[in-house]
Amino acid sequence: MKKKVTRIGVLTSGGDSPGMNAAIRAVVRTGIYHGLEVFGVMRGYAGMIDNDIFRMDSRSVANIIQRGGTILKTARSDEFRTPEGRTKAYNNLKSHGIDGLVVIGGDGSFNGAQRLSNEHDIPCIGIPGTIDRDIAGTDVTIGFDTAVNTAVQAIDKIRDTMDAHDRVFVVEVMGRDAGYIALHSGIATGAENIIIPETRTDIDDMIASLDEKEKRRKLVNLIVVAEGGEYGDANEIGKIIKARIPEADTRVCILGHIQRGGSPTCEDRVVASHMGYYAVESLLCGRHNVMVGVIKGKIHYTPLDKVVKEKHSIGQEWMKIVKILAS
């Protein structure tokens, strides 16, 4: 017989992503609609350990759907990685009568949720909130669409000045372990080369291609690099190009944290709202310890233990497309 959930907590953990506030709003208002009491946990698992937990109502989430970041904030917690820390966190949840938890974050956040649930028998539902879009079990993650559009807008501006001066530009986007932002923004902006962690880059082939284009006076060349590329960051790639093709006017630009901020796109707001609603519905119907994802436009549930073990992979055909379109 499944336990009835009456009080739920919601938290955001890991890196922030645009659309998290929309997900929080959906969880709170769906929970209240079904007669649940909803509690916000500040600063992720760190706030859970510090008992930084408060009651939320519909007004708590008014006027936040358009805001980037997260009103619940986020932080790392080394203490939560320990069994003692998780026990302390659970006891704080228990003191508020919380008997269900919605965790908005990435695979590291889901790993923490799975451990907490396994050790203390509290049902957890995950919502994928990460700009990297590297979570298994879903085609979309909250924040990716906003982040990649921010990158595209910035690169378009860089292309204008790059074209005016006939320059080679190496632009670094976020993605230490995943190249989705680099891949999508690179294709969308006509990059000649895209360097991502998932594929091996033939640096000699890239230099030869740039050198050949330089000789036929194709002087404007864009290289988009994910920060976790095998040759290092954009600065290292820039140094290699300058050393091998000294006649090229090569510049480096690191986009950085502007990709995390800003008002979420319509896509991210809708996806977050959709997932937040179904996260609460899952707790109510007894579907526990799963992540709510979207596959081929439909809600899909993946066990948390599977999510933390697998990674979303980039197909090799994408890199073939990049090479053909940049020729």
- Positions annotated as catalytic residues are 132
Report helix, strand or coil for 138. Answer: coil
Q: In the structure encoding, which two tokens stand for residue 202, read together?
A: 């033939």
Residues in a beta bridge with 11: 103
Q: How large is the C-alpha radius of gyration of the chain?
A: 22
* Three-state secondary structure call for residue 192: coil
* DSSP code, position 129: B
* C-beta atoms surrounding 286 within 10 Å: 12
Query: Two tokens at 108?
Result: 């590291």
CA distance 129 to 23: 9
- Alpha-carbon gap, residue 294 to 36, rounded angstroms: 25
Question: Which residue in the block uniquely carries the two structure tokens 């501006």?
Answer: 157
